[in-house]
Amino acid sequence: MRNERRTSGSGRGGGKPVAVRRHGARRLLLHLSLSPAFLGLPPAGTSRNQANKWMTKAEAVCGAAVRNQIAPALEAAVVEILGKGAGHGLNS
């Protein structure tokens, strides 16, 4: 098992990760920003304890949204464009 990070730009560092090689397959990294409104989350609390509880819930809800809504839609779009088998394993 080998993980290899590739970055854009020069080899001197500071580049943004653009792809990861894992198990011999190239994977595209997507950076998502999901709003609390999209996730159906209430405003965060004002105390540290409330904010920590909100963040824990937000992380769980965000993971579920990516797994159950975004990844299947993305995989369907890839399959539609590239053909069956091309999008295999986007959820893994």
What would the pLDDT profile of 4-51 be if each residue is shown by its tens digit? 455 555 455 555 555 555 556 666 677 889 999 999 999 998 999 999
CA atoms of 43 and 21, how far apart (whole Å): 38
Assess whether 4 and 40 both reside in one domain: no
**CB neighbour list of residue 31: distance below 8 Å, 6 or more residues apart:** none
Between 54 and 11, the higher pLDDT residue = 54
Residue 1 pLDDT grade (very low, low, confident, very high; cuts 50, 70, 90): very low
Location of structure tokens 């993980």: 3
Q: Are residues 48 and 91 in the same domain?
A: yes
Question: What's the pLDDT score for residue 90?
Answer: 55
Cβ neighbors of 5 (< 8 A, separation 6 or more) are 17, 20
For residues 59 and 71, membership in a common domain is answered with yes
Structure token digits, residue 90: 């986007």
Do 21 and 40 belong together in one domain?
A: no
Q: Are residues 23 and 38 in the same domain?
A: no
Rg (CA), the chain: 17
- How many domains does the chain divide into? 2
